[in-house]
Structure 1
Amino acid sequence: MERRIKLIWDMHGAHAKGTAEHHAIHLKEFAEREKISTTDVGTEDFSDTHTIAYMVVEEKDMIAVRDALRPQRAEVAED
């Protein structure tokens, strides 16, 4: 099984949660349009002012998604 990579976009400020949720919608649309196989797209709250939007992709698709969407960071997704 190929490794999965979690690409992460950090949102900060009073509207972080809403911004991250909106960004996740666009991540799903991008994956569908570009036929990128994702295992998960969503958001995760860390505080009232820090929420992330993320997309989990197979390692083979990571470079193409990274270059097109420019996430702030990435990590190996946990199984």
Structure 2
Amino acid sequence: IMRTEPKHWARAFFPPGANCESVDNNLCESFNNAIIESRFYPIITQQEMIRKKMLVRVQEQRAKGAKWKGKICPSILKKLQ
């Protein structure tokens, strides 16, 4: 059962002027910035460093998400106010 209505998270419900392209671009830039250090290592080491970094990030985001009480995330609430 979905507790959050799709209009809060599904791209199909976003207005045409939403910053979708900007979000995609920022995601790539953030990822590239996060792997700068690992670029100077051999490929296996590089991928292991990226894997570890991603696992830590996922766990941090999961912990933050567990604290949310509302239907939408706090950053969107700030924009709406």
TM over 0.5: no
- Structure with a larger share of its residues in strand: 1
- Structure with a larger share of its residues in helix: 2
What TM-score does the superposition give when structure 1 sets the normalisation length? 0.31
What TM-score does the superposition give when structure 2 sets the normalisation length? 0.31
Q: Which structure is larger by alpha-carbon Rg, 1 or 2? A: 2
